[in-house]
Structure 1
Amino acid sequence: METTAHEAPFRPPADRVGFLLSQVGAFASTRFAERLAELDVQPSDVGLLRMIAVEPGLSQQSLARKLGVVPSRVVALVDALERKELVTRTRSTTDRRTHELHLADRGRDVMAQMRRIGREHEDDLVAELSQEERQTLGRLLARIAAAHELDPEVHPGYRASRG
């Protein structure tokens, strides 16, 4: 007797890689947000603070380009970081139309704590894997991301939540 697609049994989890990636990604995002709550920061703040830490003096325009969002979106994001005293925004001495972004003292402190939280979070996520398996998983995920032209420095959520 032949079974139809409707009657076919579900494939085993290991054969449903897309679903597993989505499931683990959602779990990881939720847990990371819960861990960051103690610092009064959102997951979206992490990427911005990291970019500003790596490139002090980064302009809002440059940040918008890196994130792939409209400049008005960055203004709103930076406003929120400024209210939390995580970043400072100053006029450029070379171009008065440009605002340069720097981490504030609290922003530097929060960055150090976020790095610790991030390491602990990753360790918890892959605790069941050996060091070799972790490295293999990282390489495979990086390869998939590169094949889809995903920027390893920019979370796709920035582009999805334009506003």
Structure 2
Amino acid sequence: MTMPRPGSAFLLAQIGAHAAARFADRIGELGVVPSDVGLLRMIATRPGRSQQSLSEEMGVVPSRVVALIDSLERKGLVERRRNPSDRRHYELHLTEAGSHVMTEMRRLGMAHENDICAALDDKQRVQLKELLEAIAAQQGLTPGVHPGYR
């Protein structure tokens, strides 16, 4: 009796778990974890954004974002600045160290992408990305936000 071949959902989960573990290993040298990287990217793309806006975009309770930002602040990667128009709120900005981590992340991210997708040619990589984007959209996932924050 032959075992049935795994389905697409299993393969997505298998490759996703493998890719996530490899990514965590790669970025460990920078002193960050994958959840740090996602937040740093979100702050880097919109400097001065509020913790509330992060909470809304990520779909998590504000207290979760506060704890995540506290961790980044302790690592010296993010700073909270008082909002000049509303002193009750803070704006989030990358520090110089945070900007350096993001620069290194781009390099490591490209190496990771090339490693994980090494079996595919350029056309196949584009096709795979488009297929995965279609699945993510159909499943209602927020583009660029990992559901692991929840």
Could you tell me how far apart the structure 2 residues matched to 1:63 and 1:141 are? 24
Match status 1:20 vs 2:17: no
Structural mapping, 1:11-160, within 5 Å? 11-13=4-6, 16-159=7-150
Query: How far apart are residue 10 of structure 1 and its match?
Result: 2.6
Task: Find the residue that maps to 2:88 and give its secondary structure.
Answer: coil
Q: Deviations over 1:34-71 (max 9, x none)?
A: 00100000000111000100000000111111111111
Could you tell me how far apart the structure 2 residues matched to 1:53 and 1:26 are? 26
Aligned length: 150
Query: How far apart are residue 9 of structure 1 and its match?
Result: 4.2
Query: How far apart are residue 154 of structure 1 and its match?
Result: 0.5
Could you tell me how far apart the structure 2 residues matched to 1:39 and 1:83 are? 14
**Percentage identity across aligned positions?**
57
Could you tell me how far apart the structure 2 residues matched to 1:77 and 1:87 are? 11
Query: How far apart are residue 152 of structure 1 and its match?
Result: 1.6
Runs of 4+ in 1 over 4 A off after TM superposition: none
Could you tell me how far apart the structure 1 residues matched to 2:63 and 2:86 are? 19
TM-score, normalization by structure 2:
0.97
Task: Find the residue that maps to 2:92 and give its secondary structure.
Answer: strand
| Superposition RMSD in Å | 1.0
> Which consecutive residues of structure 2, in runs of 5 or more, have no partner in the other structure?
none
- Structure showing greater Rg: 1
Could you tell me how far apart the structure 2 residues matched to 1:131 and 1:89 are? 41
Q: Deviations over 1:1-31 (max 9, x none)?
A: xxxxxxx743224xx1111000000000000
> Which consecutive residues of structure 1, in runs of 5 or more, have no partner in the other structure?
1-7
TM-score, normalization by structure 1:
0.90
Task: Find the residue that maps to 2:131 and give its secondary structure.
Answer: helix
